[in-house]
Amino acid sequence: MAVISFARGVPAPECLAVDDLADCARAALERDGRTILSYGPSPGYGPLREWLAARHEVDESRIFLTNGSLQGFVFLAERLARGKRVLVEQPSYDRPLKILRELGAEVVPLRCDDDGLDPDALADALSAGEPPAFLYLIPTFQNPSGRTLTADRRRRIVELAREHGLFVLEDDPYGLICYEGEPLPSLHELSGGEIGYSSSFSKTIAPGLRVGYAIVPAALTRKLEELVASTYITPALLAQATVYEFLRRGLFEPNLERVCALLKARRDAMLDALERELEGRARWNRPEGGYFLWLELPDEIDASELLTRSSEAGVTFVPGADFGGPPSSARLAFSFVSPAEIDEGVRRLAALVAPAAAPV
Ligand SMILES: Cc1ncc(COP(=O)(O)O)c(C=O)c1O
């Protein structure tokens, strides 16, 4: 029996525009090969930085391209977080949590609900203890919960950051992977560009390209350049030039529409299957975009123990505890598998949550 993975937060293979990207890579090499096949500037490929600066209405010097956005997080954490207090959402993306702990940071999880981070929890954390090095948050279609921070809360968090001189890093790889609803302004925009921002072409084009970026305060760019120079010297310019060619040809928007339609069908398949199989026996949210939804099982179910049994039954997921969530929670990724597999995977999972009563 083939295992159905709700664990993998990766795009379905059909999302990847292989032929267009092959054409773009060739065109980039033919047009600018002598530049992109050499060492280059540590903040990345100039034309792509320029494009991003225009899109985000910031000075180009603040755009830092990295080999995937997680690399940018590693650099920022190295510079800012060693041995310091860092505020995060509870639950939050597991990789940054691990990176911060390995740097000896004190990771302080802040209360969240269906509307995202609770600003009162942030206010409490800011009025007690050491001033934090920064707040890391994923306000839109969050990994792992799929939740989105409401507009009012965004404003309140921007105000709190300003009042307390708090550096905030808004991680936004999923914002454009939107299936319905009005897009909300980013915290970065609401703050007039003061709040740090990171994003990536991993979800909008292809993760294997490893093209991510951060928008950082001017004072940090020099420090990041030093780290890049002593790590990989120059980020992968061929990948960045390929992305730039994809943008230049006007392929980005139609590709995004296509990817969103493919993923929306998967999100809908998961919601339909959950409703059919688990209505009344568990709670889950309805994410308006992104890759994930958050499943809350009855308190007596331990999701790690459920995973052991479900793996044998041919379906996997990630226990919510891996992200700092409660033991009975789980992250279900709908991005990778087909709608038919989602249907079957939810059926297998539901049979374990409350097996049908034996006939009398
Ligand atoms: C919230 C979040 N940030 C960052 C990343 C890393 O993305 P990239 O591929 O750009 O390194 C991911 C990947 O899943 C993610 O979910």
Tell me, using a 6 A CB cutoff, whether residue 198 lines ligand 1: no
Tell me, using a 6 A CB cutoff, whether residue 93 lines ligand 1: yes
Enter the pTM of the model: 0.96
Tell me, using a 6 A CB cutoff, whether residue 200 lines ligand 1: yes
pLDDT tens-place values along the chain, 360 residues long: 899 999 999 999 999 999 999 999 999 999 999 999 999 999 999 999 999 999 999 999 999 999 999 999 999 999 999 999 999 999 999 999 999 999 999 999 999 999 999 999 999 999 988 999 999 999 999 999 999 999 999 999 999 999 999 999 999 999 999 999 999 999 999 999 999 999 999 999 999 999 999 999 888 888 899 999 999 999 999 999 999 999 999 999 999 999 999 999 999 999 999 999 999 999 999 999 999 999 999 999 999 999 999 999 999 999 999 999 999 999 999 999 999 999 999 999 999 997 544 444
Residue nearest to atom 5 of ligand 1 (CA): 70
Tell me, using a 6 A CB cutoff, whether residue 46 lines ligand 1: no
Tell me, using a 6 A CB cutoff, whether residue 91 lines ligand 1: no
Write out the chain in H/E/C secondary structure: CCCEECCCCCCCHHHCCHHHHHHHHHHHHHHHHHHHCCCCCCCCCHHHHHHHHHHHCCCHHHEEEECCHHHHHHHHHHHHCCCCEEEEEECCCHHHHHHHHHCCCEEEEEEEECCEECHHHHHHHHHCCCCCCEEEECCCCCCCCCCCCCHHHHHHHHHHHHHHCCCEEEECCCCCCECCCCCCCCHHHHCCCCCEEEEECCCCCCHHHCCEEEECCHHHHHHHHHHHHCCCCCCCHHHHHHHHHHHHCCCHHHHHHHHHHHHHHHHHHHHHHHHHHHCCCCEECCCCECCEEEEECCCCCCHHHHHHHHHHCCEECEEHHHHCCCCCEEEEECCCCCHHHHHHHHHHHHHHHCCCCCCC
- Ligand 1 mean position, distance from CA 111 (Å): 22
Residue nearest to atom 14 of ligand 1 (CA): 9
- Ligand 1 mean position, distance from CA 70 (Å): 6
